[in-house]
Amino acid sequence: MRPTSLFLLALPLVVACGDKDDGSADSGTGDGGDGGALECEATEPACVDALISDLSFQDDEVSEGAVTTSTEGSDFVSIVDATAGGYTAASQNPWVYVRFTADGLEKVEIDDEDSLDDLTWDLGMRRYLVRVNGGDSGPGCVQAATLREKAYADVGSSDAESLESGGYLGQDDFYTDSCEFINDSSGLEGSPNLVLGQWWSYPGCVATSGYPHIVQTNSGAFVKLVIEEFYEDGQDGCNSSGVGGDNGGMLKIRWQML
Amino acid sequence: MPGPAAILLLAVGAAAAARPTDLTGFYAYTAEDVIEYVDSPEGTVRVHYSVEGPNQVKALDADDDGIPDLAQDTALEAELVLQAYADAGFRLPLSEEDMGLEPLGGSNALDFYLVDFDGTGDGQFGTDRCSGGVCSGYMMMENDFKGYGYPDLGEAVRTLSSHELFHGVQYAYAVDQPGWVAEGTATWAEYLYDPDSYDFRAWCGRVLEEPERALDRPPSGAFTGWEYGTALWFGFMDQALGTESLVALQEALAELGGDQDIDALAAVIADAGTDIETLFAAYASWNLAVGDRAGVAESYDFAADLTEVAIAKEGDSVVDDERIYPLATLYVRLDHAGGPLYWATADDPTGLSWAVHPVADGGADGPVADAVATGSFDGPGRVELADLDAGGVFVVVSHPLFAENSIAIDYCLGDADVASECVAEDDGDGAADTGGEEKGGCSSAGRTSGSLWLGLLALVGLGRRRR
């Protein structure tokens, strides 16, 4: 049985499911800004064999997708090229890995299979899927929650602390204990149940919800974020009328360390 | 080869659904549409279309008979499609009467509605009522194909009629078939109806792009194309086992349940007198001999029209690690210097099969010869796969089993020195040194003993079947 996310904070998890690796992984911490309260010990995801296939992990191939960050007031605004060759080719292209730092969002140059024992990344992105480094997605301690009742601007550190103390932060959970795939509620077959999955919906295109999220990085730091755009051009048209925009997968993320 | 033109939607199952003429639903006529219909020559299909309004059908009427050609051609094509399916032995789509409904389109014919998909798709088989795991339904298709990528209207109608009506066929057996079966067989059905189908060939390329993916495990994502690409496997079953094997598959799904895809497939293969290990290994070799590598080795009738299968690794030798999933294949191309070619691994590759295909003319790449050696691995160790002349050679390693997990291996492929990087050289008594493992070696059928699975194929009467 796999432990809950809170248990993960305290104890390492070493579970293998048809995996060729020995279950050990590098320990360490991410580089999550000014945090550092949490010492995360890497624990291998429980269903590696299924994970590599279901999420189309690429070996020996690092994404060429660029990650850029600018500032707007006290926010960072990052653009992540998670286009992955377009929607029909995405399953043959690698994920983009990033970590939150005090200087902006930083790309982590690893391939997908490396992500399974690497603690230096916080989020992995490909198209509309955003994984956290924890639970079924990665070896880390990254957790997250969605705040459906609040606007991004109103989210503060007290929200993060409440979520943490209340045990409301979660990790990616898209496999049963027997490694059966758990679909999210989007209606798209094969779409994994990701903790950050509420940023989008699918009315015939990838629409943004505008919900803010709290992410706790591998180092224990808290970040608030909202994914504002999936399409490089035409997001409003998708949100309002279900007509897809251009160049999907160019994720625009507004975020701030708390 | 450019991408396929069709943007075929998954057929939608529902217990009771409105038809386009009810003026509700995602694809529907409006109150402004003026709707007429035309029946097919034998009366088995009725095509409804709008002559005025937002869903107005393409107005071209070359024979000047007052009926838009698209509606008329669709009626004829759909009728021929249904006849082809019946001739092949399939059940036909269930009618309203079969499900205890009154005729919803004004007759007992299968209803076909030409509506504006507005670029969000181009065809769909909708359901009226489902009961006992089967459904009756109707067909919807784009009204004018403006902005779509089909080379001509005839190709569009042929492709969509054959694909979507096969979903209606599936619904007469079992409505809950998984995507890789539902879309894969529907795309194969395009080929059954039209052996020259471009759309079928184009989608087959999707599986050849990613042969290391398990056939029955599509990747995550909104639309990956994988489910359509599995048409290649069903095309293989068609040519190796006969079209009746696809009919038998539907019957097995009806009996076992639409979601029992693997059990149904296993039953069909067993009834054909073979097994998945034999069959999938042959499929893996057929998939090598396509595109520019076609023409010498046994493969599909349409092999030359396909794109070449993706090669995972190539070079003078290969030392790598790999996970080989069930119903998936690893392809390696070597520039072989001549002499014995070895495979070695300290991991346990039991369950994997292999085949060695030299390039037919001795070049680095090009049309491949039939396998000169095949076998199945049986524990860690090193094995001499074949003793070959210098030239290009392909090693095909497949996992031809119904299984849960991949087989993960670090392996070496090349001459004796390369093999020694994975497993020390044989100590002379026939047992390989596998780094402490007692068990070693692989079963094989070398050049002189013939091809294991090719022999089995011959025994069960499989092999290339010309249309």
B438 touches chain A (CB under 8 A): no
Q: Which two tokens stand for residue A238?
A: 């998708």
Averaged pLDDT of chain B: 88
Shortest distance, CA B206 to any CA of chain A (angstroms): 9
Averaged pLDDT of chain A: 86
Nearest Cα residue to A112 out of A131, A89, A135, A88: A131
Q: Determine the pLDDT at residue A38.
A: 60
- Do residues A19 and B408 touch, judged by C-beta distance below 8 A? yes
Cβ–Cβ gap A92/B209 under 8 Å:
yes
Q: Which of B220, B323, B399, B411 to mutate to test the interface with A (most CBs of A within 10 A)?
A: B220
pLDDT in tens, B287-344: 999 999 999 999 999 999 999 999 999 999 999 999 999 999 999 999 999 999 999 9
Judge if B256 and B362 occupy the same domain. no
Q: Which of A88, A113, A205 to mutate to test the interface with B (most CBs of B within 10 A)?
A: A88
Cβ–Cβ gap B220/A55 under 8 Å:
yes
Q: How far apart are CA A94 and CA A84, in angstroms?
A: 7
A202 touches chain B (CB under 8 A): yes
Alpha helices, DSSP H only, in chain A?
Answer: 5-10, 48-54, 157-165, 235-241
Cβ–Cβ gap B222/A20 under 8 Å:
no
For chain B positions 264-303, those within 8 Å of chain A (CB to CB) are: none
End-to-end Cα, chain A, rounded Å: 34
Domain of residue B449 covers: 307-459
pLDDT in tens, B192-210: 999 999 999 999 999 999 9
Average pLDDT over residues B215-244: 93
The pairing of beta strand B313-315 with beta strand B373-377: unpaired
Judge if B230 and B120 occupy the same domain. yes
CA dist B370 to B178, B278, B355, Å? 34, 15, 9
Instruction: Indicate whether B1 pLDDT > 80.
Output: no
Sign of CA dihedral B327, B333, B339, B344: negative
Q: How confident is the model at residue B120 (pLDDT cuts 50, 70, 90)?
A: confident
- Do residues A50 and A175 touch, judged by C-beta distance below 8 A? yes
Q: How far apart are CA A47 and CA A170, in angstroms?
A: 18
Q: Is residue B5 part of a domain?
A: no
- Do residues B394 and B290 touch, judged by C-beta distance below 8 A? no
Q: Determine the pLDDT at residue B17.
A: 67
Query: What residues contact A192, with CB distance under 8 A and at least 6 apart?
Result: A54, A55, A129, A136, A172, A174, A181, A182, A183, A184, B220
What are phi and psi for residue B424, nearest 5 degrees? -60, 155
Judge if B157 and B241 occupy the same domain. yes
Cβ–Cβ gap A88/B223 under 8 Å:
yes
A230 touches chain B (CB under 8 A): no
What is chain A's Cα-based Rg?
A: 17
Q: Is residue B277 part of a domain?
A: no
Of A18, A19, A127, the CB nearest to B221: A127
A16 touches chain B (CB under 8 A): no
Q: What is the total residue count of chain B?
A: 467
Q: Determine the pLDDT at residue B464.
A: 36
For chain B positions 171-210, those within 8 Å of chain A (CB to CB) are: 179, 206, 209-210
- Do residues A28 and A40 touch, judged by C-beta distance below 8 A? yes
Q: How far apart are CA B419 and CA B334, in angstroms?
A: 14
Query: What residues contact B428, with CB distance under 8 A and at least 6 apart?
Result: none
The residue in chain A having the minimum alpha-carbon distance to the alpha carbon of residue B212 is: A53
Nearest Cα residue to A221 out of A33, A39, A77, A41: A33
Chain A residues within an 8 Å CB radius of B12: none
Which CATH number goes with the domain that contains B124?
Answer: 1.10.390.10
Q: Determine the pLDDT at residue B18.
A: 87
Of B179, B220, B404, the CB nearest to A191: B220
- CA A36 to chain centroid, in Å, comes to 20
B370 touches chain A (CB under 8 A): no
Q: How far apart are CA A161 and CA A11, in angstroms?
A: 21
- Helix, strand, coil shares of chain A, percent, nearest 5, are 15, 30, 55
Q: Is residue B48 part of a domain?
A: yes
Nearest Cα residue to A27 out of A162, A157, A119, A128: A119
Cβ–Cβ gap B323/A52 under 8 Å:
yes
- Do residues B15 and B129 touch, judged by C-beta distance below 8 A? yes
Shortest distance, CA A180 to any CA of chain B (angstroms): 10
Cβ–Cβ gap A189/B179 under 8 Å:
yes
Which residues sit opposite A253 in a β-bridge?
A: A78, A227
B430 touches chain A (CB under 8 A): no
Alpha helices, DSSP H only, in B331-444?
Answer: 416-420
pLDDT in tens, A144-186: 999 999 999 999 999 999 999 999 999 999 999 999 999 998 8
Q: Which two tokens stand for residue B219?
A: 């990747």
The residue in chain A having the minimum alpha-carbon distance to the alpha carbon of residue B26 is: A204
A129 touches chain B (CB under 8 A): yes
Of A49, A129, A202, the CB nearest to B220: A129
Q: Which two tokens stand for residue B293?
A: 């590598």
- % of chain B beyond a pLDDT of 70: 87
The residue in chain B having the minimum alpha-carbon distance to the alpha carbon of residue A19 is: B408
What are phi and psi for residue A46, nearest 5 degrees? -70, -30
The residue in chain A having the minimum alpha-carbon distance to the alpha carbon of residue B408 is: A20
Of A49, A55, A188, the CB nearest to B222: A188
> Crossing angle, helix B261-271 and helix B276-288, to 10 degrees?
90
Residue A181 DSSP label: B
pLDDT in tens, A12-41: 322 233 333 333 344 444 444 444 456 799
A201 touches chain B (CB under 8 A): no
Average pLDDT over residues B268-272: 97
Instruction: Indicate whether B216 pLDDT > 80.
Output: yes
Q: How confident is the model at residue A187 (pLDDT cuts 50, 70, 90)?
A: confident
Q: Is residue B368 part of a domain?
A: yes
Q: Determine the pLDDT at residue A255.
A: 98
Q: Is residue B10 part of a domain?
A: no
Of A18, A190, A206, the CB nearest to B220: A190
Shortest distance, CA A242 to any CA of chain B (angstroms): 10
pLDDT in tens, A98-139: 999 999 999 999 999 999 999 999 999 999 999 999 999 999
Chain B residues within an 8 Å CB radius of A56: 213, 219-221
B30 touches chain A (CB under 8 A): no
Chain A residues within an 8 Å CB radius of B209: 92
ipTM: 0.78
> Crossing angle, helix B179-193 and helix B153-171, to 10 degrees?
130
- Helix, strand, coil shares of chain B, percent, nearest 5, are 30, 25, 45
- Do residues B358 and B391 touch, judged by C-beta distance below 8 A? yes
Average pLDDT over residues B117-136: 92
> Crossing angle, helix B243-256 and helix B231-241, to 10 degrees?
120
Q: How far apart are CA B74 and CA B145, in angstroms?
A: 13
Instruction: Indicate whether B413 pLDDT > 60.
Output: yes
Number of domains in chain B: 2
